[in-house]
Amino acid sequence: MDFNYLSAIIFLPIVGAALIAFVPGLTRNWIRGIAFLFTFVAFALAIAVFAQFDRSATGIQFEELVSWIPAINANYHLGVDGLSLPLVVLTAFLGFMVVLISWKEELRVREYFAWLLLLEASILGVFTSLDLLLFFIFWEIEVIPMYFLIAVWGAGRKEYSSIKYVLYTLFGSAFMLTGILTVYFTTGSLNIVELAEKGVASYASAIPAAAMFFLLLIGFAVKLPVFPLHTWLPDAHTDAPTAGSVMLAGSLIKMGGYGIIRIVVSFFPEVAREFSPLLVTLAVISIIYGAAVTLRQTDLKRLIAYSSVSHMGMVLLGVFAFSEISLTGAALQMVSHGLLTGLLFAMAGFTMHSAHERDLRKMGGLARQMPVATVVFSIAGLGSLGLPMTSGFVAEFVTFTGSFSSGAFDGIKPLVIISAISVVLAAGYILWMLQRVFYGPPQEALHHAHDADKLEKVYMFAFIILIILVGVYPAFLTDIIKMGIAPLI
């Protein structure tokens, strides 16, 4: 019998979380060791799947199918293709990294690592599920650990931010569940692959296809997040603990972009094309508005959070420009943003813990005390503004050029040109942030700040290696992504 890689990748963190939560008498070192071991093995298996993936074949690979609830035709159905595999590897990598980032956590360590591992497992489940019911269950599980991570280990207005996150997510999920039910009642199927091949609009339905399209889209748009449904994100990011921010920015909001491509556009290609002018316009507003608001921020984490609104707008732009190049760019942007913003939040957390300050107006001169952190933070920032040789440049370049040349509708070119202005704004806020934090006269109040130790350098350099690798040789990802995008086109 073939080894069920995907089940192992999802359930290893769940087993680790259960051991941490329920085995009595574990010391802090044991808890960290279990979290380290189970996330590392899950990451190693994800790399194994990536290495064995057949890059010449479209369609689903590593498929697992077991009948689950026969009465409603629901199956335990997992698989990956060129679209989901890079996101699975990214999530497994981030899940392992946040254990290292959280190594010095001392508050309620047992629950902290248990929630962190459950969060990773639920996101992995979303990216591998090929059954709508299973997809929705994993989608909902993720809300619980994220709520507790923000509410217990967060800072600032943590109770407010965690409740706001839950309310927004449940608002989106209510629409999404209604959309999934209408699709099921119309087609009698929960099989994502089958529905994508046939398209839902071909079935006779009491509900117009456009209504189903928007029900599903709202659920994913909240998570992405798209303007004006984005206001939960800056609060959640700002008040989450560092590891929570890394998972939230790196993987969790990618669920929105992934769902839009995998479900909304695949099921309703004609409706998606019909409404593409509206959605591209929303994408451009998200891109420019997110970048403009970022320029006004004085809180280090809030600045990075608002930049995510801008960067995820590029994903929406690439998806609804409907060319193979723009869709490949959108998928690549999700991976690149996960690495870059994951590292930015890790560095913001490290800088805050080291300097005990996050207000940009009170910071400055830290480059003298934190030379390694300054270099790493600068690389992450320059990647985020699209410097060549980093993943950010490749992803944005492919997305913008693919969208400009797509011809999805008549007025798309001016919209893409407007959205490209965000690159200039990004240069402004990133360079301003680096200058405020690390350069200028040293602040007397920050003289106690210290540089990264060996463990912190490990996760910092792991991120940088991947960011540069994708920037220098993007083909190892785009070759796989194209295989996932081809059936859609």
Read off the pLDDT of residues 368-421 as tens digits, 9 standing for 90 and up: 888 999 999 999 999 998 889 999 999 999 999 999 988 778 888 899 999 988
Query: Which of 264, 403, 386, 219 has its CA nearest to residue 329?
Result: 403
User: Which residue has 């921020």 as its token pair?
Assistant: 297
Task: Give the pTM.
Answer: 0.94
Start-to-end CA distance of the chain, whole Å, equals 35
Q: What is the pLDDT of residues 123-150, one digit of tens each?
A: 999 999 999 999 999 999 999 999 999 9
Contacts of 296 by beta carbon, 8 Å cutoff, 6+ apart = none
* pLDDT > 50? residue 433: yes
**DSSP-H helix ranges across 385-421:** 391-404, 412-420
Q: Enter the tokens of residue 241.
A: 């603990």
Q: What is the pLDDT of residues 194-231, one digit of tens each?
A: 898 888 877 777 788 899 999 999 999 999 888 888 89
Domain spans of the chain, in order of start: 276-489
* pLDDT > 50? residue 463: yes
Bond from prior residue into 208 cis (ω within 30 degrees of 0) = no
Distances (CA, A) of 30 to 16, 65, 341: 11, 35, 30
* pLDDT > 50? residue 1: no
